[in-house]
Structures are given as C-alpha cells and as structure tokens.
Structure 1
Amino acid sequence: MPRFLRVLAPAVLLAATLAALIIGLMIGGAAAPRTLADPGAVVRIGLPIGRTLVNVAMAGLIGSVVMSVWAFASDRPETRVAMDLAAGSAAVLTVASAATLIFTYTDVSGLPFSGDASFGAGFAQFVTEIELGQLWLFELLLAAITTVLAFAIRGRRLTLLVLVAALTTTLPLAQQGHAAGASGHGQAVNSLLVHLIGAAVWLGGLLTLIFIARTVDRARLSLLVSRYSSLALLAFIGVAASGVVSAWLRIGSLDALFGTGYGLLVIIKTVALIALGAFGAFQRMRLIPRIADAERGARAFAWFVIAELVVMGIASGTAGALGRTATPVVLEPARDGGGKISPAEWLTGDPLPAPLTPLSYITEWKFDLAWGLVCAFGAALYLAGVIRLARRGDKWPVGRTIAWLLGLGFLFYTTNGAPNAYEQYMFSVHMIAHMLLTMLIPLVLVLGAPMTLALRAVEKRTDGSWGGREWIQWAVHTPYSKVITHPAVAAVVFAGSLWIFYFTPIARWAASEHLGHQWMIIHFLISGYLFSLSMIGIDPVPYRFPYPLRIVTLFATMASHAFFGVTLMTGDGLMLADWYGAMGRTWGPSPLEDQSIGGGIAWGIGELPTLALALIVAVQWSRSDDREQKRKDRAADRLGDTELEEYNAMLAAQAKRDERGVSRARR
C-alpha cells in the first residue's frame, strides 16, 4: 500500500468525522446559543469534539488490541505496529478524556474556565460527588492505566490484560448514555455497551489494517483482511441491533423520527450504517480474493478502505452530534420528574409490573439486547462448528447440539423473560433466576461440550497467530485454570457463593446497580458452569475427582443448599428490607412470605438440577466400568487371558517347588 494512503486514511477519517459532527450539531440545534446558562461557543463545539475524539481513540485502542490478540502473529512486525497504535490511541484517549471532563464541568456549571479557587473547588465537587463527573474521572483514570499497560506490554499472553483494560474504558461511557433511575436504564446501558464495543472493533480493526499494510505482503494482507472481515460481521450485527434499540428508547414514535432534528440525525446514521454493511459485503465476497492476486488488487483495496473510512467518519460524527441533541423522549430519573411516583419507580426507575400470575411467566418479557446477542452468537457459532464437522465427514452427537441450544434458550428466557421482568420486585422470582443461572443452565450447557467442538472444528493456525483453538488449549493448561477447575475449588465457590452473596452488601449492590446486576449474572453462570464441568463435563480439564468422590461432593453441596434454603424459610428478618420491603407492592405475598417462598425454591426446586447431576455421574460411572471391562475383554481376545495364564503359571511353579521339596525330604 502506498505510503501517502497510510497518511491519507486517518486524515480522511478525522476530516469526515469533524465535518459530520459540525453539520449534525447544526441540524440537531446543539450548536445554537442557549437561552439560559449558555456556556459559550467554545464549550458548545469543544465538548462534542472532545467526546467524538474519545470515541475514535477508543476505537483505535480496542480494534488494534483485538487484532493483535486474534489475527496477528506475535513474532511479526504487524503485532508491534498494532500495539504501537494501541499505545498511541490510549494516550490520545487519556488527553481527550481530560479535556472532555473539563468541558463537561463548564457546560454543567455554566462557569467559564479559570484558575481561581472557586472554579477548582467546584470542579473537585463535580468529580467526587456528581455521578457524571465521577464517570468522566473514572474514564480518565482507566485510559491512563491502559496507556501505561499498552506501552509496557508486548507479550502475546499479557496482551489479554491490555485488552481487558481497553474494554473497561467503555463502561463509564455506557453508563453516561442513559440517566440512572430513568425508565429502561438497564436495557439502554447494555445496548450502548454493545454499540461502543462493536463500533470500536469495526473502525479500529480497519485502521489497524491500514497501519500494518506496509509490514506484510499481499498474500498475508489478504489473510488478515479475511480474519478482520469475520470480526467486522459480528460487530456490524451488534452495532445495527443496538442502534435500533438505543434510537427507539430515545425517539419513541415514528412522528418524532421524521419530525425532529434528533430523528433526522438517526436517519443519516442509519443510511451510513446500511452503506457500511454494503461495503463489508462487497469486501468479503469480491475484494479479499483479489488482494493476493495482483498489485492492482491491493491498490483497489486501499482506495476502498479510504471510501469506507469516509462513511465511518460520517457515522461517527453523526453519533457525536446525537449525543448533544435533545431527545424526543426525555431521559431523566423518575424521581426527578416532579410528579408523584411509586416506591418501585423511585428504587428501580421502572413502574411496578402487573400482578404476577402463572400466565405471566409466559407473557411478560423485558428484553436485554446484550444477553440476547450472547445467546444468538453462541448458537450461531456452535452450529457453524457442527456444520463444518459435517462437511468434513465427521459426526457430532445430536444430543450435544440439543443440550447447547436448550441451555442458550434457558439463558435467553432468564435474562429477557419473566424472571428479568419481576426479579427486581420479588425475591422469590429472583431466586428462580438464581437457580436457573447457577444450576440448570450451566448443567445443560456443559453437556454441549463447546470446547471439544471448537477444538475439533476450528482449524489449527500455522502462521504463528492464535485463533480460537490455540487460545482454548492455552487456557485449559494455565495454572489459573488448574485451580478454578479443580473439583474442590469449584464446589467451594459454587456452594459458598450463596452465603457470601446474600449475607453481605454484595446482594444490595447487585439489586440496585446495573453493573452489580450484570456481575451477578456472569458470576452465577461461571461458578455453576465450572462446578458442572468438574462433575460431568466432556470438555478437557486438568483434573477430575474419581466417581465415588464426585457423588460425595454433590451430596455435600446439596446439604449446603438445603441448609441455606431452610435458613431463609425459617428466618424472621427480611433480607434487603430497604429494597424488597420498600417496593410498595400491594399484590402477591408479603415481602417476608415471598422471602420464605424463595428459600423453598432454593431448597426444593434448586436441588433438582443437583439430583440430575448425581444421576448423570452415576450413569457415567457405570459406562466407565463397562468401557473398562470391554477393553479388558478385547485385550483377552487379542492376547489371551494374560492375567489367568500368569496366575496358572505361578501355581504350576509353586507346585514344582513343592514336589522338589518333598523329594529332597525323602532322600
């Protein structure tokens, strides 16, 4: 790729982004002076520019690290260039976050920037007491930490640490996208998080290809573009789906879509997104094969990328303008609305749902885009692996496929259905969700043997890079894996999590904070999956207990669950009284009765999956004995009964020794 194109590409991106941003601010009205507390033109324009630079720098950071981990070989210059890009992007993110923090304070306070004591005192209060200031301070600190890591780390495995740090920089931005305590806060935060990560991988990965193009030949570039294209497809799906959800939460009606400046910006961004989808389809179907064929193909790819970056810049700039444009649906916490609200709305931001009936478990839904995409991608990737094996002529048990899809179906229902709609308001429904997440869903997913499928279906890489197969093999054999998958550790975490979670402030954090709720879901899933994997898993782990000890472990965990359930059923004090006891719910059982029902669920219904585990262990034990006996039978058929022959030979030798002893005694 010519050198001037490598310089032109980021310049074109920034120019298109800034141009779209300025035009979008004028369309949405955010560039016009305010009638009250106008911060001035510098802040009106500087704040969205700073926020847009944050988004672009974050894309460069996340995209380059993802490509380093997934597509590039660590012993080639491509990885060094990508990590240099990551470090530079992280540094820009840090500076842009600091500038945006200052602009945000001047915008909120209405005070011009100055160095006097009153400005400093107000700024300190903003970053320590006001949620918006705290989030931008967290963003600044996370960006600074990531910058240090990106400059210091170059090893393949440690690059995962940089990736984790880079992904955490999206959390404060996702929290800002929707007012805490406003209706639909949880769905909006998860949707924006998917949007940010998807856009970062999409844009940042393309930028990375531009920068590393000079370090590889055409054949290598074609391969790397193909790998990027697979990531870009997943990112496109996530960005498109999250964009629809985010836009609908803020627009609310078709009239607002076509009759407001915000709606017009949404239409512009949608058109850009559709164009980018067409770019991606053309790139995957027509352009990638031509890159390696001739120099003309590589040049065509270069100009194609320039055009794609222009459209990406338009989308990024429009997104920045949307962030400063008033939404048709006012996003403010219910408690700040000025009207009379219910206690449930005060606590959760959402109104109390309709009374819970048996039919409600089918009819009531509260969709969560992030978990919906997790289930959809999990099913698609699993089926893709099964299809690849079938095309190769290998067989994969149908039962495992059914188990995996069934587990994902349960996960989708738990995170999008009635359990998600009612668990904030009723402890018993929360306990149903807990039992599904930590016991039933992991059990069924483990029977799907996803790691075994991936190891068989994913091709082994020979170019020095690590794909899914290589990362799984490494993860299975790490010292950390040996610890957390050890049956004793998995059992302690599985059983102990109940007590630690519900009898510490963690439960209140998970109930009231969106991040805490997501942590709860992930923790319960992982702890249950590791325990089921150590008991009945087909996937490889460093060590498993012998079958008798597995049965003992299962019954010990059953006893712990039973004791926990009885404790809740017989307790006369209400857990999380300032949450479940303060909802103002007038239907259904009282909060204390509901807690007792939850204890019964933990004791009774929660033990059913454990019994299923015990039955599966017993069946596996029996089959193991049968296989061992068949192995011995086959060996005997091949070689004769060696053990019996050796025993008979030993008896014959003993008899001869006895005869010699008798004859000597007679002489």
Structure 2
Amino acid sequence: MVRPTDADAPPAATPRRPSTGTALVSQAAPAAVVAAVVALALTALSGAETYARLGLPDPGAVVTYGLPVVRALTESAAVVTVGALLLAAFLVPPPGLGWLSAEGYRAVRVASWSAAAWAAGALVTGVLAVADAFARPLADVLTTSTLGESVTGLPTARIWFLTAGAALAVAVLGRLALSWGATVGAFALAVVGVLPAAFGGHSGTGTSHDLATSSLALHVVAAACWVGGLVAVLAHAAVGGAHLPTALGRFSTTAFWCWVVLALSGTVNALLRVNPADLTTSTYGLLLLGKVAGLVVLGVFGATHRTRTVPEVADGSRAALVRLGGVEVLIMFATIGVAVALGRTPPPEMTDAPPGRGEALLGYAVDRPLDLPGLVTAARPDLILGSLAVVAALAYLAGVRRLRRRGAEWPVARTLVWLVGCVVLLVATSSGLGRYAPAQVSALMIQQVLVMTVVGPCWVLGRPRRLLALVRPETSGGPPGPGAWVAGLGRSRLGRLLSSPVGAVVVFVGTGWSLDVAGLVDVLVPGQAGRLVMTAGALGAGCLLARVVTDGAVAVGTRVVVLVVTAVAQAGLSAVVVSSSRVLGGEYWDRLGLAFVDRPADQVLGGLGLGLGVVPLLALLLSARTRSDVQVSA
C-alpha cells in the first residue's frame, strides 16, 4: 500500500476575495451609519433652537430629526458614487481608454446602484425639506398640489429635486456605460449633481452670498472626490485590484489638493458666516470647530499615507492601507454628519445693517457706475473662475520649469500667450468688470466676449496638451495618464463632433445667439450658478473654435471659412442686440433697481461690446491663413 505524500494532497482552497460591490458596501455602509448617527445626535442639541429662533412651530420629530438622518445617508451615497466613478475613470482607467476593464465595469455598476440610492434619498430629503420650510408635520405636505408648488416656489425643495434628477441620470448612465468615455461623462454628471446643495442653505442668502456659495461649491466637490475616492481605493485594495500602487499614488495627490481646497474654501465660508468671537459661544461656532478638528486629523492621516502607506503598497503590503484607511473613512463620514448638523443650525446673528435690494440679490453693493479706476478699486474675486485663472497660470509655468530642468526648450511665445489668457480671464471675472457683470448688461456682454474670443484662443495657442505630453510622458505597462485622458476625450464621439468645423461653428454661434436672442440671459443671469454656466460655456465655445482654426489637419480654406462665418455671425448678433427694443433680462434688472443705469442705453453699449469680438476673430483669421502647423505634434 502506497502512502500518500504531500504532493498528492489536494491544493489548499484559495480564499475567495469579496466582489467590488461587497467591498464598497462593507466600507461605506458602517461609515454612512456613523454619519447619520452624528448628524442625528448633533441636531438633537439644536433642533428646537432652529425653529424657535425663526419664530416657527415645531413640525414634529419626523421632520426635525428625520431630515438630517436622510440627508446624511443621501450625501453618503453621493460620495460613494463620485468615488467609484473617479476610480474607474482616472485612478485605474482601461488600457487604450476604450472598453472598460472588468474592474472598471464593476465599479461603474456599483456607482449606478449608489446613484439610485442617492436619487431616492434626494427625493425624500426634498419632501422633508418642504415640511421643514413650512414648519408643518410631514403628513400635511404630502399632497400633489403642495409638492408641485414647492418645485417652482421653494428653492430648498427645488435644489433637492434637481439633485434627484441628476443622480437618477447618473444611475441610468452607469447601467449603460461600457466605455471609458461614458464613464468620464457619468463622473462629470455626478460632480455636477453634488453642486445644487451648495447653492442653498445659509450660504445662499445674506450678504456676500456670491463668495459663500462659490466657496461651498468648491468645498463639496473636493469633499466628494476625497471621501468617495478613499472608499473606492480601499474597496479596490480589498478585492486585489490591479495597479493598486498607481491608483493609490494618484489618489494621494488628489487627496492632498482636495484637503487644500477644503481648508481654504472652508475658511472663506466660515469667515463670511460667523464672527471669530462667536466660535466658542454659539452652537454653530462649536460645530464649525468640530469640522476644523476633523479636517486637521484627516490631514495627519493623509500625511501618514503619503510617507508610509504609499511606499508600503508599492512594496506589496496592503495592511497599513486597510487599517489606516478604514479609520480615516469613519472620521470622514463623521465629519459629513457634523456638516449636515451645521447646515441645520442657524449661524449667530450678525450685527450688520440689513442689505438693500440690490445687495440682497447680488451679495454685495453696487452704488455707482463702473469707470476705468473701478476695474481695480471695485474688484471682487470670483472664487471659481478667478482661481481657475491663477491655477492655470501656475500649473503651466510649473510645467515649463520642469521641462527646462530636463534640458528641453519651450517657446516663450506660447508661454506668454497662455499667460495673457489667464490674465484676461482674471480681469473678466475678478476685477470691477466681474463685479458689475451681474448688474449691467454691458459689463456682462463685454465679459463674455473677452472670455470667448480672447481667453479661449490664447489657451489653445499656448498648446497645453503638447506641454502636458512632454512633462508627463506615458509609460508602458500602467494605466493611461493625464496626457492620454485629454487625447482620449478628443477622440471620443462627442469630442470629434464638437471639434469638427461644423460643430465648432454651431457651438460658437449658438452660444451667443441663444444667450442674447433666444432669452437664456433672462434665465441664467439672476442666479450665480447660471452666470457660471454662461461664462464656462463661452470659454468652451472659444476653445473649440480656436482648436479648429489652428488645427493643421484642417484645410486652410476650411479654417478661413469657419472664421468668416463666425465673425459675420458675431457682427450680426451685435447689430440685433443694439437695435432690439426688448431689454434683455429686463425683469431681473428691474428687481435690482440700480437708478444710475439707463437700461436701453446700457444694452446698446453691450451690443457694441459684442461687436468688438470680431477684432480678435480677425486676428485669429490671420493666424489661420499664415500658420498650418499650430496643433501638429512634433
């Protein structure tokens, strides 16, 4: 009889790793419960105070305590959605940026389920917000007429219903997405979906609400990417995902900048809402200090990850990542609970005089006409677009510096033209011109023209894509990097359509005519988010047009025709605005009540400003006729 040997023994069973969905749920579910419990506990300390200070009746425990709990769970689902899509789109994107890998596919499907939970939670939050706004029990507002009227008449409810719509769209797109391009679209939509909540609450009212909402918008996006990204990376590590060192390294850099944005934006928002003396004497101030403490602790965790965890993961060990990351996630979600309670707590009463009608609408006072010195003396920072101009300039200069350290040369002319675009964007959004753009149609149109016909072309002629490819060359064997992302977006179906000559003309001409003639100015100008959309759209349209006109792959004759058509359309738009008897955005300007502005004359001036946009287009036309290699990679 032959005795069995060790070689004959059956192989030991390999431990089965959890699925991506299971790993994400195991990370996010306990943390979401922590967020809800913290929000509930802290709201219990000030729940009655909120209604008493506003002189409202208590709507009952379901509304008072149910709203913060549901909102905490909803925001938890939102950050999980953003993080899963961030992982699939940028931390470990598929090779070639084509079809998703199996891991990316699973992450996107998890994002689809969490987005569905996000949408459901936003709907419930919206209903509870209606009851909260009316200070009525939940049963009293559960009627079709009340909820229907709230969609149009109650900003808080409208914000949450818009959020629910965006989350539902992400859920549907997540179920359909099979490619990297669709995943990037879903991620962008998810980021947009977290923004509506930034334009409500305490930050959306009172003086300086323009700065408060901008800072809060930056705050919530940075928080969603940081918190959600960490949850996704931990789940990726738990399932033994590929390219974990690369994913963790990319996330570590992302987390650092998110922490910086959170610290700066939170400081700005806090200074606008509470006096330093009230930090230790009010419930709002104490909660704010709690958020600060959480941010400091998380900063320490982040530094530990960069100095210890990232090298250990590179050496093959994941223990420290899972251990420290799990604790960090709990602290992060507890901070979400603090933030929810903070949003439910009234800030201390400020002693400033009540704002006038114009200041209440704009967030700041405009009491005299804009003149040339006012471009400097009346400057007001745009925390989003102004910061974009500064960051774009610094990032470009850093890239050029790194390139020259390697002994490579970069044309000075390209650097100068890029910096000109940054300076013009800063002037258009953060000087006196930016301050007056929401108050005078002339300033608004000049702002849009500068962004569309100067900033866009300057940024394209600076060739940032080429600079990025040289500074961050692709390496074989790892996930595609930033240079490949930009190229991949350009090769996508939507990218090819928009960057075609016909697409660029349609976008450029359609942007101006839809805003000024079709009446979108009336819709977008009254709200800060609408004005941000206007300016971002103008910048995108200008970049698309300049990209086509400076593309060596497009025939010179075609480029000339594109510019001639757009220049004629711009001149025609100017003539229509100048001769129009209808004051664009008339109802909004009337509500501002600025006595020193002659609206018809101001609109004529704005129309003439639109006509000035033909001048940089003609300069671009000269470039199109004389240069045929601006965008040829060499």
TM-score under structure 2 normalisation? Answer: 0.85
The match for 2:184 is 160
Contact 2:392/2:422, CA 8 A, preserved across alignment: yes
Deviations 1:372-397 (A, max 9, x none): 33234423443343344334433222
Deviations 1:565-595 (A, max 9, x none): 34444556544433446643343x6222222
One-letter amino acid matched to 2:86: V
| 1:38-117 superposed matches below 5 A | 38-74=58-94, 76-114=101-139
Between the aligned partners of 1:143 and 1:615, the Cα distance in structure 2 is 46
One-letter amino acid matched to 1:447: L
Q: Name the SS of the counterpart of 1:157 in structure 2.
A: helix
Shift of residue 143, structure 1, vs aligned partner: 2.5
Q: Name the SS of the counterpart of 2:495 in structure 1.
A: helix
Q: 1:73 to 1:545 in 2, by over 3 A?
A: closer
Tell me if 1:260 matches 2:282: yes
Q: Find the partner of 2:371 among 357, 367, 373.
A: 357
RMSD: 3.4
Between the aligned partners of 1:293 and 1:117, the Cα distance in structure 2 is 58
The match for 1:471 is 485
Q: Find the partner of 2:606 among 598, 601, 606.
A: 598
Between the aligned partners of 1:528 and 1:117, the Cα distance in structure 2 is 47
Q: 1:354 to 1:278 in 2, by over 3 A?
A: farther
Gaps of 5+ in 1: 628-667
Q: 1:365 to 1:257 in 2, by over 3 A?
A: farther
Tell me if 1:276 matches 2:298: yes
Q: Find the partner of 1:544 among 545, 549, 554.
A: 554
One-letter amino acid matched to 1:424: P
One-letter amino acid matched to 2:374: S
| 1:147-226 superposed matches below 5 A | 147-178=171-202, 182-216=206-240, 220-226=243-249
The match for 2:10 is none
Contact 1:71/1:466, CA 8 A, preserved across alignment: no
Tell me if 1:404 matches 2:413: no
Gaps of 5+ in 2: 1-14, 95-99
Tell me if 1:585 matches 2:599: no
The match for 2:571 is 562
Between the aligned partners of 2:153 and 2:56, the Cα distance in structure 1 is 24
Contact 2:82/2:111, CA 8 A, preserved across alignment: yes
Q: Name the SS of the counterpart of 1:369 in structure 2.
A: coil
Runs of 4+ residues over 6 Å off in structure 1 = 1-8
One-letter amino acid matched to 2:39: L
Q: Name the SS of the counterpart of 1:366 in structure 2.
A: coil
Deviations 1:538-565 (A, max 9, x none): xx7xx4231x554455445434433443
The match for 1:649 is none
Between the aligned partners of 1:127 and 1:562, the Cα distance in structure 2 is 40
| 1:322-361 superposed matches below 5 A | 322-328=342-348, 341-342=356-357, 344-345=358-359, 348=362, 350-361=364-375
Shift of residue 470, structure 1, vs aligned partner: 2.2
The match for 1:301 is 321
Between the aligned partners of 2:28 and 2:361, the Cα distance in structure 1 is 46
- Mean Cα deviation higher: 225-234 or 284-293: 284-293
Shift of residue 270, structure 1, vs aligned partner: 1.2
Between the aligned partners of 1:246 and 1:597, the Cα distance in structure 2 is 36
Q: 1:457 to 1:261 in 2, by over 3 A?
A: same
Deviations 1:210-230 (A, max 9, x none): 21213327x832222111112
Q: 1:98 to 1:614 in 2, by over 3 A?
A: closer
Q: 1:590 to 1:324 in 2, by over 3 A?
A: same
Q: Find the partner of 1:136 among 115, 140, 160.
A: 160
Q: Name the SS of the counterpart of 2:164 in structure 1.
A: helix
Q: 1:78 to 1:432 in 2, by over 3 A?
A: same
Q: Name the SS of the counterpart of 1:97 in structure 2.
A: helix
Between the aligned partners of 2:133 and 2:510, the Cα distance in structure 1 is 45
One-letter amino acid matched to 1:562: A
Q: Find the partner of 2:251 among 228, 241, 253.
A: 228
Deviations 1:136-180 (A, max 9, x none): 222233323322332343432322332233223213322323576
One-letter amino acid matched to 1:585: L
Deviations 1:331-351 (A, max 9, x none): 9xx9xx9x7944x35754643
Between the aligned partners of 1:452 and 1:329, the Cα distance in structure 2 is 52
Tell me if 1:528 matches 2:574: no
Using the aligned pairs only, state the percent identity.
27
Q: 1:36 to 1:428 in 2, by over 3 A?
A: closer
Q: Find the partner of 2:270 among 243, 247, 250.
A: 247
Contact 1:12/1:309, CA 8 A, preserved across alignment: no
Shift of residue 275, structure 1, vs aligned partner: 2.1
Q: 1:130 to 1:162 in 2, by over 3 A?
A: same
Between the aligned partners of 1:80 and 1:400, the Cα distance in structure 2 is 40
Between the aligned partners of 1:496 and 1:80, the Cα distance in structure 2 is 36
Corresponding pairs, count: 606
The match for 1:648 is none
- Mean Cα deviation higher: 397-406 or 495-504: 495-504
Shift of residue 235, structure 1, vs aligned partner: 1.8
Q: 1:9 to 1:401 in 2, by over 3 A?
A: same
| 1:632-651 superposed matches below 5 A | none
The match for 1:659 is none
Shift of residue 200, structure 1, vs aligned partner: 0.9
Q: 1:501 to 1:11 in 2, by over 3 A?
A: closer
Tell me if 1:25 matches 2:43: yes
| 1:499-538 superposed matches below 5 A | 499-536=513-550
One-letter amino acid matched to 1:602: L
